[in-house]
Amino acid sequence: MVTKRNIRRDRAEETLTAYAMILPDALGLLIFVFAPIIYAFYVSLHKWNGLKEMKFIGVSNYIKMFSDEHFWLSIWITIKYALIYVPSIFCFALLFALLVHSIKGKMQQFYRIIYFIPYAISTVVAALIWTFMYDPMRGYLNAALKFAGIESQNFLASTTQALPSVAVVGIWLVLGYNMVLFLAALKDIPQSYFEAADIDGANSLQKFFSITLPLLKETSLFVVIVTTIGSFQAFDQIKVMTNGGPALATNVTVFYIFRQAFEISKLGYSSAIAFILFIIIMVLTLIQLKAFSKAEID
């Protein structure tokens, strides 16, 4: 006989099981995300080179940071990188997802795998491969341009081309992953919506903007937020390909933090920059969440 006591006990067991399954992820976030953030803020209030004892200096590192021209330059370069990186991934991932989704049969799986393969490649390995391809003298890209009758480009050696060239590598690496996200969301859209639109005489563009895009809103939000965070954390390919050059043209904020911490040994100052970068990323994420939720209400 089912009693209220048995129901309460079953609910308690379900709740306990749910919390037990969440606990490992919660502990991981606490240990590997929130604890380092709190410790970085603590270190940012000190003068420390990693060897000597910490010396408390209050908010001096933050005051110094806001008058540091190189810091503001790194923020501007990071923003430019994000403006190339985020829209490109969103548009091309959605475009490729639509193209692959239109392919029927086993060929769809083949193209899905082909596009996803770069995501499995190490960033450092990809950066080394693309560095060789970008080589002004022996690179394949300039060889292809020369064959097409186009003048050779400096790519990574150019102050104007270096940042877009590095961004291309980052886009190439994660494009397939984001394409798969959009592809999975496209498969969840009921076909009956499109059949009803066909009856009403809607063309392809009208179906895309009236049905497909609105129903991809949650996936779009996830892609935009994750790629924005990724753009502000770009480091590996920049370290390998340009080392922040030429003439600081690719000196993004994370690379500037690396230099301050491990080349100049200003761990307190670099921690202050890292904490401010965390605040910037958090604010951007909240703005994006607010913008998408407002658009959904409208």
What single DSSP character describes residue 55?
Answer: E
Q: 100 CB contacts (<8 Å, ≥6 apart)?
A: 108, 111, 112, 115, 179, 183
Same domain, 191 and 273: yes
Give the domain extent around 26.
1-35
Same domain, 18 and 108: no
CATH code at position 269 = 1.10.3720.10
Let me know if residue 253 belongs to a domain: yes
For tokens 């991981």, the residue is 28
Let me know if residue 197 belongs to a domain: yes
| Band of residue 41 on the pLDDT scale cut at 50, 70, 90 | very high
| Band of residue 298 on the pLDDT scale cut at 50, 70, 90 | low
Please state the pTM of the whole predicted model: 0.90
Let me know if residue 40 belongs to a domain: no
Same domain, 103 and 177: yes
Same domain, 108 and 206: yes
Q: What is the domain count for the chain?
A: 2
* Each residue's pLDDT tens digit, 140-155: 999 998 888 889 899 9
Let me know if residue 239 belongs to a domain: yes
Same domain, 20 and 92: no
Let me know if residue 52 belongs to a domain: yes
Same domain, 145 and 15: no
Same domain, 166 and 261: yes
Let me know if residue 247 belongs to a domain: yes
Same domain, 172 and 242: yes
Range 40-57 average pLDDT: 91
| Band of residue 292 on the pLDDT scale cut at 50, 70, 90 | confident
Same domain, 241 and 202: yes
Burial of 133 (0-12, 13-18, 19+ CB in 10 A): middle
Same domain, 31 and 157: no
Can you give the pLDDT at residue 259? Answer: 94
Q: How far apart (Å, rounded) are the C-alpha atoms in residues 28 and 158?
A: 42
Same domain, 101 and 193: yes
Provide the percentage of residues in the chain whose pLDDT is more than 90.
59
